[in-house]
Amino acid sequence: MESRRWRRWSVLAMASLAGVVNGDNCASPSGFTIESQAAADALNNCSTINGNVNIQGNDLIQITLNGIETISGNLATSSCAGLRTITAPVLSQISNNFTLSSLPLLASLGFPLLDNINGGIYWDTVPDLTDVWFGNLTTLSHGLPGANVDGDISIINTGLSSLAFLNFTHYSNPATIWIKGNQQLSSVNLTGLSWGSNSLAIVSNGPSAQIFLPDLRSAGAITIGNAGHIYIPSLSETTATIEISTNAIDAFSAPSLTNIGGSLIVQNNDLLDNLSIPLLTSVKGDITIANNTLLQTINHLDQLWFCQGNITLSGDFSTVTLPSLRNIIGHFHLNSSNPDFDCTTFDKLSAQSDWSSSSYSCGAYLPGSTKDLAKHYQAPDHDFNLSKPVKAIIIILSVILGLFVSALLMRLYVHKTRVRRGSLARSASWTVPGARVEEGDVEIEEVGVTRVAERGDPLPKYERVGKPGEVPPGYTPTENAGANQVEAGNVNTETLNNASRRRWRLCYGR
């Protein structure tokens, strides 16, 4: 029976190795499939494998790849129900991906010289995997333990307690790093990882896992959940969303972060009482800070001035300060369950012309209540908030004052009109010599003008020059001289002659 099985594995091995070219370099367009240790031993003389190596078979318990130093292709192991150990004592490089999938009993990987994986690591559903030895024997010569991975890293649902087998010192261009569902993983230390172009997700690992990203400066999306500590001191920017959700952390700090290319989400962190991103200036997505039970103060977002999406702040806040915030493309909604919350600052900002948001709300609501208990800013109105009786008195006094001023102005107008008319009457209506004078007028023909006195105005006083009774010089009496004789004591009485008329000089005001 044993010899029959050996012959069977030998046939399979020879079939799988049909593409071997020589003892040093082995190649096969279809790759190499290893279903037994005998098939693996058939490759002992191949220092370099050009093609993919696939390990599969439910009867496998342990596989050792002796003599293989380089695999120029993929190394994949899947659906081996009984496989417990894979070792490759001299393997140093895998040019493409290293894949492990659906290996319920696999517990150990022994690759002591493996220090370079040019592709990615894709490990999924390997729940018993606890021991991984990568590059341990290269530490003395290179000073760098672990394997350098150039591509993606996806480690999901394993039994790992540490990722110390990874070396990011020469990490070139990671697209994604997904470390999820590793319940025994208590520490994720990615020292040396400086940037990632797509996404970094570390979620649902061991309770209160410690996350250390000391050298990370730039990344795409970052998602961290179920962590007990997060350390990202060097992160300065992301091109996508940062989400810190459902953690057991008491503080989250990103002291160097200035720009977020997506959204900022901090929610459902029951122990979080300190949030600090002091240099953050702009967020190109939404800002959501909600349901962090112990977070009562948001006062370390002092430089934030721009948000391209919506801002939603919800929690038991006593104080929220965003002193630089001005430009919000979306909505601004702040909801505190603290009845003493003061919305005054945000009310004032929302009323200013340099604050832009499509809608605004701020309030304090107890759970299950729709009554807003927050303190709000009351804009001053034009009536100074006077009582109705005072307003009525002011209106009445204003009307009286208006009537008084109107009467005063009317009296002044009438007075000026009378003065103007009197001035015109005194200054006269002047005519040329020979003008006709109505009864009651006084003629001053010698000076060529006529003074017209209005009815009721007293005539000017006249005084004759000469002595009473004196006959004016050159006077020649006519036949009716007796009738025209000047009587003694008669002053300002003229002798009229039909042929000629003479006037004595008129003196005014004497």
User: What letter represents residue 292's amino acid?
Assistant: N
Q: Residue 303 domain-assigned? A: yes
CA 435 to the chain's CA centroid: 92
Q: Residue 10 domain-assigned? A: no
Rounded average pLDDT over 233-254: 97
Burial (0-12, 13-18, 19+ Cβ within 10 Å), 191: middle
**pLDDT tens sequence across 362-417:** 999 999 999 999 999 887 655 456 667 777 888 999 999 988 888 888 888 888 88
Q: Residue 355 domain-assigned? A: yes
Residue 171 is predicted with a pLDDT of: 53
- The secondary structure of 464-487 as a DSSP string is -SS-TTPPPTT----TTGGGGPPP
Residue 87 is predicted with a pLDDT of: 97
Q: pLDDT class for 70, splitting at 50, 70, 90?
A: very high
DSSP state of 461: P
Q: Residue 400 domain-assigned? A: no
SS3 350: helix
- The secondary structure of 144-177 as a DSSP string is --SEEE-S-EEEEEE--S--TTEE-TT----SEE
Among 241, 168, 165, CA closest to 201: 241
Residue 3 is predicted with a pLDDT of: 43
Burial (0-12, 13-18, 19+ Cβ within 10 Å), 491: exposed
DSSP state of 141: H
Q: How far apart are CA 96 and CA 243, in angstroms?
A: 31
Among 99, 100, 113, 106, CA closest to 65: 113
**pLDDT greater than 70 at residue 160:** yes
- The residue range of the domain holding 268 is 241-394
Q: How far apart are CA 342 and CA 360, in angstroms?
A: 15
Q: pLDDT class for 418, splitting at 50, 70, 90?
A: confident
Rounded average pLDDT over 326-350: 92
Q: How far apart are CA 103 and CA 41, in angstroms?
A: 22
Region of 78 on the Ramachandran plot (φ > 0 left; ψ -120 to 50 alpha; else beta): beta
Residues 271, 252 contacting (CB under 8 angstroms):
no
Name the token pair of 370. Answer: 């729709």
Rounded average pLDDT over 269-291: 97
Q: How far apart are CA 65 and CA 55, in angstroms?
A: 11
Q: Any residues with CB less than 8 A from the CB of 168 and at least 6 apart, and which?
A: 148, 149, 190, 191, 192, 193, 194, 215
**pLDDT greater than 60 at residue 241:** yes
Q: Where are the beta strands (DSSP E) in 181-235?
A: 187-189, 199-203, 209-212, 218-219, 221-225, 227-231
**pLDDT tens sequence across 97-154:** 999 999 999 999 999 999 889 999 999 999 999 999 998 654 444 445 678 888 899 9
Name the token pair of 41. Answer: 């031993």
Residue 431 is predicted with a pLDDT of: 45
Residue 305 is predicted with a pLDDT of: 94
Residue 477 is predicted with a pLDDT of: 61
**pLDDT tens sequence across 9-43:** 443 444 344 444 455 899 999 999 999 999 999 99
Q: Residue 168 domain-assigned? A: no
Give me the residue label for tokens 């721009």: 306
Residues 333, 313 contacting (CB under 8 angstroms):
yes
Q: How many other CB atoms are found less than 10 A from the CB of residue 124?
A: 18
Rg of the chain (C-alpha set): 56
Name the token pair of 292. Answer: 């962090």
Torsion angle defined by CA atoms of residues 471, 474, 475 and 478, in that order, rounded to the nearest 10 degrees: 150
Out of 235-244, 289-298, 390-399, pick the least confident: 390-399
Q: Residue 262 domain-assigned? A: yes
**pLDDT tens sequence across 225-238:** 999 999 999 999 99
Residue 474 is predicted with a pLDDT of: 60
Q: Residue 343 domain-assigned? A: yes
Domains in the chain: how many in total? 1
Burial (0-12, 13-18, 19+ Cβ within 10 Å), 84: middle
Torsion angle defined by CA atoms of residues 465, 471, 476 and 478, in that order, rounded to the nearest 10 degrees: 110
Rounded average pLDDT over 85-91: 97
Mean pLDDT of all residues belonging to the chain: 81
Residue 463 is predicted with a pLDDT of: 55
Q: Residue 115 domain-assigned? A: no
Give the CA count within 13 Å in the CB-facing half-sphere of 389: 0
